[in-house]
Amino acid sequence: MCAKQRHNYRNLKIWKLGLEITNDISDILLNFPKHERFDLSSQLSRCSVSMPNNIAEGSSRTDKSFSHFLDIALGSSFELGTQLLVAKHRQYINNEILKTIEDKIEEFQRMTMGFQNGLN
């Protein structure tokens, strides 16, 4: 019996975009106030890192299990969008930065849902 081929996460566009978003968030956080280090900054960092991490981890699993990890990555992307709105409200980021990252998150969500639909 032949083992089912697993996905190579490094070749997946969704993983690459997730990593790009993570790096964008990391760059943005350099300008956040120090008192946010254990609050909003930490949350933003963790959920942005969760997106490509869950894609990477899920890629080693069966398609059904991978789909679950993609759900987690999607959830993290929606969480990230909400946290960016909080950062904008606190005036840590401007409208231009917010729009740029929101556009990437929306693209990530569309691509990930499309990829996920192909697994099912």
CB 70 within 8 A of CB 98: no
Residue 2: predicted pLDDT: 40
Per-residue pLDDT for 1 more than 60? no
C-alpha of 23 from chain center: 10
Provide the pLDDT confidence category of residue 5 given band limits of 50, 70 and 90. low
Write down the pTM of the prediction: 0.92
Give pLDDT tens digits for 87-115: 999 999 999 999 999 999 999 999 999 99
Residue 38: predicted pLDDT: 84
CB 64 within 8 A of CB 34: no
Residue 109 CB coordination number (10 Å)? 17
DSSP letter at 35 equals G
Round to whole Å and give the CA distance between 90 and 105.
20
Q: For 93-109, what is the HEC assignment?
A: CCHHHHHHHHHHHHHHH
Per-residue pLDDT for 16 more than 90? yes
Give pLDDT tens digits for 27-79: 999 999 999 888 999 999 999 999 999 999 999 999 999 999 999 999 999 99
